[in-house]
Amino acid sequence: MKCFIGLGNPGKQYEQNRHNVGFMALDRFAEKWGITTFQNKNKALQAEGVVNGTKVYLLKPMTYMNLSGESMRAFLDFYKAKLEDVVIVYDDMDTAFGQIRLRYQGSPGGHNGIKSIIQHGGTQTFDRIRIGINRPAPGFNIADYVLSNFTKEEMKSIGEVLDLTCEAMEFSLTNSFEKTMAKFNK
């Protein structure tokens, strides 16, 4: 069993925000694998399916970004799952747009969703796929930046980034995370 938790904010007004690229990646993965039904469960929109013989759960926390860990904790407790079965998919300002970075530990780096995951998971060691969104221009408010929509130019290539993320997700189902990191960290 593997659970991918995409971080984002619920609501139409946030759908195309940089901060919601985790939700976008899960939606793309679900579409690719014919996982069609998301239900309200564990403080999230949750879906499940089988991908290459592995039971997969997709979780989009509905707690808003800063409380994402509550949804993860509810999932782990309900299914008696381990944090090792989880991969967090989220936006990262320190990764260039168009790239992804995989890590298995680290600090939140100012990301409130990851702070919440660490708080509710009790550790900084968990698998993660960080999707690059670039840093804002100097002087630009970070909160305003992550809650702004991707530019028209970025939207032209976001599909490629989401496809790359889905490839990494899929690869991680049948390979160790270390091997997945070696393949996708360029």
Catalytic residue among 2, 19, 111, 128: 19
Neighbour-count burial of 15, counting CB atoms closer than 10 A to its CB (0-12 exposed, 13-18 middle, 19+ buried): middle
- For residue 4, give the 3-state DSSP assignment: strand
19 included as an active-site residue: yes
Q: In what order do the strands lie in the sheet with 44-51?
A: 39-41, 44-51, 54-61, 2-6, 86-92, 125-132, 100-105
CA-based angle 36:9:140, to the nearest 5? 135
Tokens of 138: 């100097």
CA 31, CA 150: separation in Å to the nearest integer? 21
- What ranges in 80-141 are assigned the alpha helix state H? 112-121
Task: Give the C-alpha distances (Å, rounded to integers) separating 119 from 30, 85, 104, 123, 125.
Answer: 28, 17, 16, 7, 12
CA 158, CA 152: separation in Å to the nearest integer? 10
**Annotated active-site positions, please?**
19
